[in-house]
Amino acid sequence: MNETTEPEALSAETVPAAAEGNAETAAAGVDAHPETAAAGAETPGEAAPAGSDRVKRLEAEGDIAADYLEELLDIADLDGDLDMDVEGDRAAVSIVGDGLDVLVGADGEVLEALQELTRLAVFTQTGQRSRLMLDIGGYRQDLRKNLVALAREAGEEVQETGEAVKLSPMTPFERKVVHDAVAEMGLTSESDGLEPTRCVVVHPAR
């Protein structure tokens, strides 16, 4: 009888090395509220690539990320299909499959760490900072729906009372989703505070 083996726990030893040097140079996702986030991801002073060149660059990022993540899945002895796309100004890679909760972790903490490692893997090969978005098992997709509902609820409260509403601390990804949803309601929002307690404040239309 074959014994069922549990997926190998992820650790610094089991996750493939993304790069030598400081991970801060690959940087975490940009917190895109209306005051700071022009859609472009370029470093100040750099010209944004032309349309077709930009898409090719982002597709190349997706390919590099897919190779890195395939190695990760092999090490962790997990099965998953990789989907790659370009969403706006960033590459998007999703791992789809069953039994991937170990790669998401509590409140998406492992997912966030893997996203940063994947961005660093891209940075190592391209020398360019990446804003690639990683999703695993549809976690971000479901989270996005809940955040949009939360943003609309806060926006409606602001519209009714005329007073600002301060939300709970969020990650950069979560704040961006909320900022976008609030903007669609014709309201304004800003990020307030420092990590890890940085949050979104929703204001009446100005």
Query: Locate tokens 């239309």: which residue?
Result: 205
Give residue 35's pLDDT band: very low, low, confident or very high (50, 70, 90).
very low
> For 100-157, what is each residue's pLDDT tens digit?
999 999 989 999 999 999 999 999 999 999 999 999 999 999 999 999 999 999 999 9
CATH class as words, domain 23-137: alpha beta
Instruction: Please state, in angstroms and rounded to a whole number, the distance separating the CA atoms of residues 111 and 70.
Output: 15
How far apart, in whole angstroms, are the C-alpha atoms of residue 99 and residue 84?
Answer: 20
Cross-strand partners of 31: none
Asked if 192 contacts 199 with a C-beta cutoff of 8 angstroms, the reply is yes
Please report the sign of the dihedral spanned by the C-alpha atoms of residue 174, residue 74, residue 79, residue 70.
positive
Q: Which CATH architecture has domain 140-203?
A: 2-Layer Sandwich (3.30)
Instruction: Please report the pLDDT score of residue 88 as a whole number.
Output: 86
Mean pLDDT of 82-103: 94
Domain ranges of the chain: 23-137, 140-203
Q: Does residue 172 have a cis bond before it (omega within 30 degrees)?
A: no
